[in-house]
Amino acid sequence: MTDLLYHLLDEFLFSFSAEFVVCRRVEIIELDIVNLRGESSRKFDLERHPQGTEIKAITMHQMKVLTTTEVTTETGALPRVECSPEGDTIIASSPYECYVLVDI
């Protein structure tokens, strides 16, 4: 699972660098041993997306994919809830948390 996450994030970084595509939310439509297909993208716009520190690389160092029933936030642990396409809540049907270090 960590290899898949690494390669997916590396593709997102490449898409941003080459085509200025930014993903806020990604929906995995198909996932099996051969295929990964998803939907979500938006062209990068400096007025809408202020650019901060540039990410130069994704690393596998201390990468973790955890299965949990709660989501850890800055204010404490929260139960997983359904989310709307516009909302920022956590999807109940996807009980994973990912931790990734990046090189800047």
Query: pLDDT tens digits for the chain (104 residues)?
Result: 788 888 888 988 998 888 887 776 677 677 666 666 666 666 677 787 777 888 899 998 888 887 777 776 778 777 766 554 555 555 555 667 788 888 98
User: What is the model's pLDDT at position 76?
Assistant: 78
Who's near 18: CB < 8 A, 6+ residues apart?
none
Provide the 8-state DSSP code for 62: T
Under DSSP, is residue 1 helix (H, G, I), strand (E, B) or coil? coil
User: What is the model's pLDDT at position 82?
Assistant: 53
Tokens 């099996």 correspond to what residue?
A: 32
| Domain of 94, in residue numbers | 2-103
Instruction: Count how many domains the chain has.
Output: 1
